[in-house]
Amino acid sequence: MEQVTVNAFSPKENEYLTDLLNKIRKEIGTSHKVTPDTILRHYVIDHGVKIEAFLSHILGYLIRVPDISKAKSFGYEFGALSYQAKSQLVQDVLRPTQKFEAKKLKLFSEIRNKFAHVDIINTMDDLAAIGADTFKTLKNMFSEVADLNVRLELLITDIYKILHTILIEEIYLRARDQRNIERNQYVDSKIATILQGLPNSDELFREIVGLYKNWESSQVDEITTVKEAASQTPDGSDKIK
């Protein structure tokens, strides 16, 4: 998946977001294939560690934490939020129309928990025998795929896509807000300059700015286009299921 560059904010924030986005995009574009030599417990836990790091960064960005590494809730100190808590918070951020995405985040949390804490679960067959409800959900979610390991691969790739979409949407919204602030300041200064010296200039200024703000708020939101672009696969064809 091609790399992207964020240029909407301060140099430090642009660098941070560019790096974070491209790390997630790298995971989306990577084949997470389970091979005969794969130790599935290691495979699940390894992706769990990566996904948890992304969850921490996204949550930190959403609530404007200055430095994730020093954050008590999302950092590396004792007492930081668990994987489950972070995943649930991200699920809460999703809109009501994103129920399927929330279901996938919840499902991977359950699978990760089973492999991390149940010593006799080492394969997908073990999961089917011991974590029957979790396995059934995975089976139904990817019913068109027969191979159990491929179902897991698809789920993990979709998790990375979901996190990418959440981050893209938040970056877009903040960039749009920033542009609106800068544009409004520019428009206000121009109107004030034009009206300078005229009778009742203050009253005229308030009236014209009010009309402009009403027009601006009536414009169609562009976020739908951004969501569609963000949810595409590396080849630009399919969206998250």
Query: Is residue 231 domain-resident?
Result: no
Q: Quick check: is 166 in a domain?
A: yes
DSSP code at position 68: G
Cβ contacts of 71 within 8 Å, gap of 6 or more = 56, 60, 65, 80
The answer to whether 168 and 182 have CB atoms below 8 angstroms apart is: no
- Establish if 207 belongs to a structural domain: no
203 domain-assigned? no
Q: Average pLDDT for residues 4-9, to the nearest whole number?
A: 86
What is the SS3 assignment for 209? helix
- What pLDDT, in 10s, does the model give residues 145-163? 999 999 999 999 999 999 9
The verdict on residue 184 lying in a domain is: no
Nearest to 98 by CA among 162, 49, 52: 162
Of the candidates 210, 80, 75, 225, the one whose C-alpha atom is nearest the C-alpha of residue 165 is 225
Confidence of residue 15 (pLDDT cuts 50, 70, 90): very high
237 lies in some domain: no
Instruction: Establish if 217 belongs to a structural domain.
Output: no
Full domain range(s) for residue 156: 11-178
The mean per-residue pLDDT over the stretch 75-87 comes to 86
Q: Check if the beta carbon of residue 151 is closer than 8 Å to that of residue 160.
A: no
Is the residue at 109 inside a domain? yes
Give me the number of domains the chain comprises. Answer: 1
Calculate ∠ Cα 170-172-178, nearest 5°: 105
Owner of token pair 């949550």? 59
Whole-prediction pTM? 0.77
Query: Confidence class of residue 189 from pLDDT cuts 50, 70 and 90?
Result: confident
